[in-house]
Structure 1
């Protein structure tokens, strides 16, 4: 297992086809599902469950289409049970995964929270990802800028960021360079597609996420 909590997989860079859109994408950019022993569709967020993987793009519309069109049963070639709350369950599990990864980064000394600490990291060039709560003050968030060549993640709530940093709530956070940061960026990108437009855009307005480069 890697430090970021993901099982090693020689096939990690392989392409897979989304059953809803028909588009091919790297498997790490898709959400994997398996059919459980009771013929129930089960999200495999960590990519570790045994069985044939069924992949769907990390977009609410794609997941809803897969459910509505009964694509899971078609691919499995047998009747399957799709939980009524499948889409919301996937969003919840992805959010939990992102929170866990940020927490691991914090414990490894690769993350800080709080306006002044984040500002200091940005000023010294230590921050590679700026984290800001989607329900935080727009005016307050506008005082900090996305790291040059880095990323901005603004679709987690203040409660979720608080959980990641061991506090009640957090509005501003930052991640430094490292493998865990790359994992946060990867999983957060999936979560963004499952969140509502307002959440994924960080509230009432969209915010540029800097250059489109994965943090390293």
Structure 2
């Protein structure tokens, strides 16, 4: 259960007011900083006041927003941030961080799959190299366990946005292969979404 002592409770009125879920920005219940909702994490209370990560930000109910970083999540848990924001007891899943990480990875896999089926993504050194030479790449998705030196040889002097959210086995599964190290996405909404989800996931990468 998420609790907070009176000594830890904030005294600033702004720290206890509800942040309305309107407009493009949301306020983190821990840092009190506002940021684009797409770059943050939303949580809601489910049955029995169980805390549920709402990674798509579509579940009904009042949302609690956090900056997408491990240290912020740990502060929310250790200082009773969710209970304070909910103004009552909150049941915290013991595997909350794992649920967040798995959920973000699933969203990345889904959107890469959408891009593949829409003809907006290719994998493999040769295919990606051809897209790079043709100027068709909006985002490069590299395997997290791939070779940094090989990435450098592939990119050369090109400045292309790049993320490394998934291992080669998971990337390969999206394209019906045993593994894939290099994936290229054409510019557009799907590439932007994958980049945003990868950025949220990066906030939970091991130090």
Contact 2:138 2:188 in 1 (8 A): no
Aligned to 1:81: 91
* Aligned mates of 1:140, 1:13 — CA distance in 2: 42
In the alignment, the residues of structure 2 paired with residue 96 and residue 20 of structure 1 have an alpha-carbon distance, to the nearest angstrom, of 26
Contact 2:42–2:63, Cα closer than 8 Å, also in 1: yes
Tell me, what secondary structure is at the counterpart of 2:165?
Answer: strand
Structure 1 unmatched ranges of 5 or more: 1-10, 198-216
Instruction: Give the match for residue 184 of structure 1.
Output: 194
2:146 alignment counterpart:
136
Q: Which runs of 4+ in 1 moved over 4 A?
A: 146-149
Q: Which has the larger radius of gyration?
A: 2
Superposed, 1:7-26 pairs within 5 Å as: 13-26=23-36
Partner of 2:12: none
Aligned length: 187
Report the alpha carbon displacement of residue 158 of structure 1 after superposing the two structures with TM: 0.9
Find 1:164's aligned residue among 153, 174, 195: 174
2:87 paired with 1:72 = no
1:118 aligns with 2:128: yes
Identify the residue that residue 7 of structure 1 maps to in structure 2.
none
Query: Is 1:54 equivalent to 2:64 in the alignment?
Result: yes
CA distance in 2, matches of 1:147, 1:49: 43
Q: 1:108 aligns with which of 91, 106, 118?
A: 118
CA distance in 2, matches of 1:147, 1:77: 53
Q: Please report how far the alpha carbon of residue 31 of structure 1 lies from its aligned counterpart in structure 2 after TM superposition.
A: 0.5
Residues 146 and 152 of structure 1 are in contact (CA less than 8 Å); yes or no, is this contact kept in structure 2?
A: no
Q: What's 1:201 paired with? A: none
1:37 to 47, 67, 72: 47
Distance 1:12 1:100, change over 3 A: farther
- TM-score, structure 2 normalization: 0.85
Deviations 1:152-172 (A, max 9, x none): 012321122122223221101
SS in 2 for 1:38: helix
Distance, in Å, in 1 between the alignment partners of 2:198 and 2:139 is: 11
TM-score using structure 1 length: 0.81
* Offset at residue 85 of structure 1 (A): 1.1
CA distance in 2, matches of 1:175, 1:141: 15
How well do the aligned residues superpose, as a CA RMSD in angstroms? 1.7
